[in-house]
Amino acid sequence: MFKGRDIVTIIDLTKEELEVLFEETDSMLKYKGLNLRLLEGKIMAAAFFEPSTRTRFSFETAMLRLGGRVIGFSEPSRTSIAKGETLADTIRMLNAYSDLIVIRHSIEGAAKFAAEIADVPVINAGDGTRHHPTQAMIDLYTIKRNFESFDGLEVGVLGDLKYGRAATSFIYGMSKYPIKHLYLISPPQLKCRNEVIEYLKFTGTSFTEVEKLDDVISELDVLYVTRIQRERLPDPAEYEKIRGSYRVTLNHLKEARDNLIILHPLPRTDELPNEIDSTKHAKYFEQAGYGVPIRMALLKLILVGEEI
């Protein structure tokens, strides 16, 4: 099911496969703090061409917690890439030195390209505006921990749906489950890309695009908030126009359902102010905490399989 497999997008995983991953994650949470040796002798290469805090540290922590080891870089300017080495050659080297490659890159399709070159499994830790499958796994797992099931949930995704790969992967993830409705909430400039809209239609997901959180807050069980992807906007003037165009406030929460959970892949900017943190709805730090057990489970399933 998972052994030896590349993970490029959440679209490729079935609900059943995600269920196996979530069960494995439950076990990893139970073993927290134990000295596991499941990946002893294995080496993970972390190739981070773009900035990262949570994703890189949690992948590395996951590998170390399972007894494996880590090589890699988070500063490509300090590798031969600075001398003009191509992505393909860099991947060939990591393929020769490691048992699995985790890659983050600003170019869409970079992880798929790496997966085609490498014989060892490749995990996409974010490629440009497109996919971030392990973030979606964390998001889905957080929902599963907070609700009995996905059935009938009303879910809102707020923010930069155009350039945000975390939001996009979350939307793809949602399309796998029998939720009641998906609200895509964004300023007009940051609306969901056409290919994602087409995919939602193809999967028969019930959804609406809206501009204001105020219009739907009272309908939601889950609110997934994302920041404006400032570094991906083609024009800095555009950012100045749309910054501050949405923000979750305590006033919104007065209208919210009692059981509403608020998620955010982090980092946040001003769309999710600190005053929300102490409310019962805030689940984004819990969500970030699942980064390690989810990635432990995934690394274990890919490198040794389901059996052990």
List residues binding ligand NCD (CB under 6 A).
54-55, 126, 132, 135, 165-166, 226-227, 265-267
Beta strands in 85-149 (DSSP E): 100-105, 122-127
Provide Rg for the chain, Cα atoms: 19
Least separation, in Å, of the C-beta of 217 and ligand NCD? 22
Least separation, in Å, of the C-beta of 308 and ligand NCD? 29
Sign of the CA dihedral 90, 93, 97, 100? Answer: positive
Per the structure block, which two tokens stand in for 72?
């890699």
Of 167, 144, 162, 140, nearest in space to 265 by CA? 167
123 neighbors 5 (Cβ within 8 angstroms): no
Q: Of 132 and 300, which has the nearer Cβ to ligand NCD?
A: 132
Separation of alpha carbons 62 and 299, rounded Å: 8
Q: Of 191 and 232, which has the nearer Cβ to ligand NCD?
A: 232
Q: What residue is closest to ligand NCD based on CB?
A: 265
Q: Of 244 and 267, which has the nearer Cβ to ligand NCD?
A: 267
Q: Of 65 and 132, which has the nearer Cβ to ligand NCD?
A: 132
Least separation, in Å, of the C-beta of 59 and ligand NCD? 10
Least separation, in Å, of the C-beta of 160 and ligand NCD? 8
Least separation, in Å, of the C-beta of 266 and ligand NCD? 5
Q: Of 95 and 168, which has the nearer Cβ to ligand NCD?
A: 168
Calculate the alpha carbon distances from 297 to 43, 44, 289 in Å.
16, 14, 14
Least separation, in Å, of the C-beta of 301 and ligand NCD? 20
Q: Of 266 and 297, which has the nearer Cβ to ligand NCD?
A: 266
**Helix or strand holding residue 266 (H, E):** none
How would you class 82 by CB atoms within 10 Å of its CB: exposed for 0-12, middle for 13-18, buried for 19 or more?
A: exposed
